[in-house]
Each structure stands twice: as structure tokens, then as C-alpha cells.
């Protein structure tokens, strides 16, 4: 029971449930990679014969995200302790010590790079760059309001990274998917940051809500999500995908709009619903319909 309890603490530390944001897009990138190496045909035989590669990509996602989240909790522990919203997180609450969080970060960084070694040279060479981006995010609130964009950049590496794991090359469609993730995540992270607008100002931390206020911050988020919608449409046209993709794109776009209807500058009571539930559902459904479209094209 003690081991299970410790595991649960670490899963809570890294918010493992939030993997639903980037992982579905990584799966889309992986399937596009399979299609690329099989001349546009989804080969179940290839997939079965290369199942270990799929597992390695999943492990990379888990290790990279675990390192990023644990490092964020380690670095922000003093601010988290002062913020009533975050004071019960594992590190400020004393459930996991700062040293344990840092060791957990380093172990996951090592495992991430080690796993890329067994994938291909391209992802191995790029693995330190990926780690630099996702770990650097934790510093950004100390000096720039554009921290949300850095988070978006970090998560946007998932589809292109999965595609590279299969093919070792860059292509337009997975790059466009990465930009979709960038605009989507940056936009909803601004919404999430509305909860800490006053706290960030008091602690001299940087965020778009703290810099320009809730109303203007929501406008910036609107613009990013409008760009995201246009990019999703671009992916559909460039890829020439059939109706299943457009069903997924429609659901995703509706849920983009829905979260903006949930959150108002004067009413933040539904921020968590917009952040976790709406975006998690949007990512899963969009990826499911898109992957079905890819493999039945």
C-alpha cells in the first residue's frame, strides 16, 4: 500500500491526467509517420512488426512530460506555498521533498535521452533541444509574459517528434499539426492563468493576464484559438482528408469556442472545466476522428 501511495503522489505531482493534451497529437504524428514510410498506406503488419517503436515513443512522451512537470513543481515550490490555490501541491505540502522532485526530474531526463538513443539518430540529436525547451518554460514567468507561448512550444513538439521517430525526416503536415498544438495550448494556458492574475502581480511574476488584465488576456486567447481553427482547416486541405477528419475538426473547433463561452472576465468559476475537461475531450475526439481518416484515406 505504501508503494502505491507513493506512486499516486508522483502521478499527482506531474498531473499525469493532463497527458491527454499532447499525447493524442503525438499519436497523430506517429500514424502520419507510418503512412509516410508505407507510401500512404496504413500497414497493420508494419505496425505490429514495429510495436517496440510505438512503445518507445510513448515512453519518450511520459519521460519528457514527467521531467517538465516535476521541474516546474521544484522550481515554483516557494510561490506555490504562498498561493492558496497551489499550497496543497505535493512539494509545498511536504509530501514530496524538493530533493526528491529534482532527482525525479533528472532521472526522467536521463530516461528520455536514453530512449531516443534506441529510436534513431535524428531524435537523439534533437533530444537535448526538446528538454531545453520544456524545462526552460519553468523559468519564464520570472521575466516574460510570453510564458504561455513557451509552454505551447514545448507541447507542440509532440506530433513532429513522433513523426521524426518513425521517419527521421521533417514534413509539412506534422509541422502544421505542431503549430496547431502551439496555438491551442498557448491560448488555453492564458485562460488557466486568469486564476492567478492578482497573485502574479503581487509576487512580480509575469503572465499575460497579469500584464494586460483578464478582458484583454481573453482577447489574446481568442486570437490564438482563431489561428488554431484556421490551422486545423489548413491541415485538412493540405492533407486532402475525407469527412471523418472534418467531423473531428468540427468537434474540436466547437470545443475551442465552448471554453470561451464558459469563462468571462468577471466570472472565473468555470476555468477548470474549460481548461481540463473541455480541452482534454477536444484533443481525444479530434485525434480519434483524424487517425481514422488517415488510415482509411
- Residue 180 is part of a domain; what is its CATH number? 1.10.357.140
pLDDT given for residue 230 in this prediction: 98
CB 22 within 8 A of CB 158: yes
> What number of H helices and E strands is found in the chain?
14, 0
Say how far apart CA 110 and CA 16 lie, in whole Å: 19
At 141 the three-state DSSP class reads: coil
Number of structural domains (the chain) is 1
| Mean pLDDT across 60-87 | 95
At 264 the three-state DSSP class reads: strand
CB 236 within 8 A of CB 245: yes
Nearest to 119 by CA among 130, 105, 107, 103: 130
Nearest to 161 by CA among 187, 153, 146: 153
Give the residue numbers spanning the domain of 156. Answer: 2-295
CB 79 within 8 A of CB 205: yes
Banded pLDDT at 288 (limits 50, 70, 90) = very high
pLDDT given for residue 17 in this prediction: 62
pLDDT given for residue 18 in this prediction: 64
Say how far apart CA 291 and CA 225 lie, in whole Å: 22
Cell numbers placing 54: 510505438
CB 219 within 8 A of CB 265: no
Long-range CB contact pairs, 34-41, < 8 A, 24+: 34/166, 35/294, 35/295, 35/297, 36/163, 36/166, 36/167, 36/169, 36/171, 37/166, 37/167, 40/297
Asked if pLDDT for residue 2 goes beyond 60, the answer is: no
CB 171 within 8 A of CB 161: no
pLDDT digits 0-9 by tens, 183-205: 999 999 999 999 999 999 999 99
Say how far apart CA 287 and CA 267 lie, in whole Å: 31
pLDDT given for residue 168 in this prediction: 95
Residue, of 277 and 225, whose pLDDT is higher = 225
pTM > 0.75: yes
| Mean pLDDT across 39-66 | 87
CB 72 within 8 A of CB 99: no
Residue, of 262 and 21, whose pLDDT is higher = 262
At 267 the three-state DSSP class reads: strand
Banded pLDDT at 266 (limits 50, 70, 90) = confident
| Whole-number average pLDDT of the chain | 92
At 85 the three-state DSSP class reads: coil
pLDDT digits 0-9 by tens, 90-100: 999 999 999 99
Neighbouring residues of 4: CB distance < 8 A, sequence distance ≥ 6: none
Amino acid at each position: 500500500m505504501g508503494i502505491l501511495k507513493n506512486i499516486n503522489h508522483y502521478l499527482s505531482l506531474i498531473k499525469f491526467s493532463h497527458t491527454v493534451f499532447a499525447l493524442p497529437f503525438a499519436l497523430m504524428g506517429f500514424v502520419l509517420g507510418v503512412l509516410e514510410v508505407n507510401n500512404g498506406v496504413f500497414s497493420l503488419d508494419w505496425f505490429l512488426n514495429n510495436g517496440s517503436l510505438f512503445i518507445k515513443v510513448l515512453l519518450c512522451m511520459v519521460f519528457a512530460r514527467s521531467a517538465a512537470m516535476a521541474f516546474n513543481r521544484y522550481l515554483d515550490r516557494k510561490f506555490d506555498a504562498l498561493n492558496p490555490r497551489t499550497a496543497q501541491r505535493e512539494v509545498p505540502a511536504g509530501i514530496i521533498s524538493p530533493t526528491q522532485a529534482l532527482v525525479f526530474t533528472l532521472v526522467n531526463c536521463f530516461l528520455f535521452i536514453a530512449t531516443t538513443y534506441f529510436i534513431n539518430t535524428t531524435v537523439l540529436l534533437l533530444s537535448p533541444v526538446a528538454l531545453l525547451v520544456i524545462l526552460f518554460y519553468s523559468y519564464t514567468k520570472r521575466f516574460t509574459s510570453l510564458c504561455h507561448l513557451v509552454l505551447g512550444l514545448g507541447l507542440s513538439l509532440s506530433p513532429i517528434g513522433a513523426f521524426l521517430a518513425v521517419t527521421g525526416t521533417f514534413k509539412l503536415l506534422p509541422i502544421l499539426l505542431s503549430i496547431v498544438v502551439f496555438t491551442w495550448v498557448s491560448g488555453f494556458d492564458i485562460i488557466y492563468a486568469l486564476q492567478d492574475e492578482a497573485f502574479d502581480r503581487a509576487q512580480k511574476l509575469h503572465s499575460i493576464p497579469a500584464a494586460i488584465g483578464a478582458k484583454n488576456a481573453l482577447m489574446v486567447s481568442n486570437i490564438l484559438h482563431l489561428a488554431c481553427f484556421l490551422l486545423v482547416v489548413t491541415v485538412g486541405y493540405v492533407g486532402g482528408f475525407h469527412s471523418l477528419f472534418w467531423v473531428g475538426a468540427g468537434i474540436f473547433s466547437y470545443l475551442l469556442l465552448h471554453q470561451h463561452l464558459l469563462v468571462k472576465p468577471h466570472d472565473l468559476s468555470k476555468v477548470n472545466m474549460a481548461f481540463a475537461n473541455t480541452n482534454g475531450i477536444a484533443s481525444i475526439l479530434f485525434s480519434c476522428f483524424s487517425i481514422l481518416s488517415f488510415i482509411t484515406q
